[in-house]
Structure 1
Amino acid sequence: QDLVFELVNAPPRVSIDYPLDGATFYAGQRAYFSAYAYDLETSKLLAPTSVSWASNREGAIGVGSWVQREFTVLGEHQITVTGRDNDGASATDSRRVTVLPPPPDGLPPTAFIYTFDYDYRAPNPVLTLGGVGHDAEDGALSGARLEWRLESDSIEWNIPGGVAYGNTPQAVLNPVNGRGDFRVRLTVTDSTGKTAEVVREGSLLYIR
């Protein structure tokens, strides 16, 4: 008796990593979303064109590993990301967000970190950051409007004064004992002094 084997295409792995479930935004305020979409067969990230986003209240949002949206419909939205591999297999992930009426004193800015890249096994890895800030009145924020700070008891970085500025700073991480946890906080400030913050967390594990 002959044995027949059928190769089954596994669906990709798709997970929203920002924002957290239950996040809130104001109508007219720019909201950012990002997802991890990975093809198990090729061991590569899905192409940005293979990752699509939608709201159950406002329809299609955009395409890519990260997208942005200024919502107009108040209330709860279910945001769904769909990743599809080259063989047609797909997977989804969802988050609930709530859109609130704009505050009477004006919309605050929003902040988003889209690049947070380093080699966690290197003794002194280079941390590459990418972030954006946006304000409804000022538009895109840049330069000194974006401040980056490292928070850690066991890791330092080579930024003079400890604060980096701009959209795409780089820094060398120096773990005191070769390992440790850290947080990077991005704070954006608009022309009226309103601020927004976003945090990414990381770890180093250099084995001598």
Structure 2
Amino acid sequence: QDLPQGLLELLAEGGRLVPYLDLPIQHVSDEVLERMQRRTSGKDIRGLVETLKARWPQIALRATVMVGFPGEGEGEFRELMDFVAWAEFSHLGVFRFSPEEGTEAAEMADQVPPEVAEERYRRLMELQQGISWRKNLEWVGREVEVLVEGATEEGQPVGRTPFQAPEIDGVTIVEGPGEPGEVIPVEITEAGPYDLRGRSKLSR
């Protein structure tokens, strides 16, 4: 909700901007957000996602969330699961809360047992894996630009599409010509939950 209106308009225009935005939302339960001292609400976060998708339909949204924060019960976690299923993020980073000595959160009541946080992490990642795979499959048969950054052990070019951030998202493995530093047209032929495979359209 803190995104300036001018930035939203700029995003909607596209141009040279990469259609990718990372939202560090952490959670959507108002109770958990208040404990985290986040100055937002679940309603605000849902509204922001709706606005971004409406103004910029081709956008790839990534979000980061945390499970196991003190006070997160099954109901609050279920609310987060339902939100992720609704939002259909292209990518999702999930972190487990880990108490650090001397922090306010470490002294809070209602600490979530580590095994419960781990189980919630697994459930949320399984949900997102299916979403990411389904969204990647939408690219099969389509052509997209790939920035070549290196090569596999077999010598195939490997790089990133505009909706794959470095280090944290998957990569695109390319069959055919392509040198590091080049942006090449690639027809996507295969899709997994994280990585894509495609055929270079360069004629050389």
Between Structure 1 and Structure 2, which shows a larger proportion of strand residues?
A: 1
TM-score bracket for the superposition, by shorter chain length: under 0.3
**TM superposition score normalised by structure 2:** 0.23
Between Structure 1 and Structure 2, which shows a larger proportion of helix residues?
A: 2
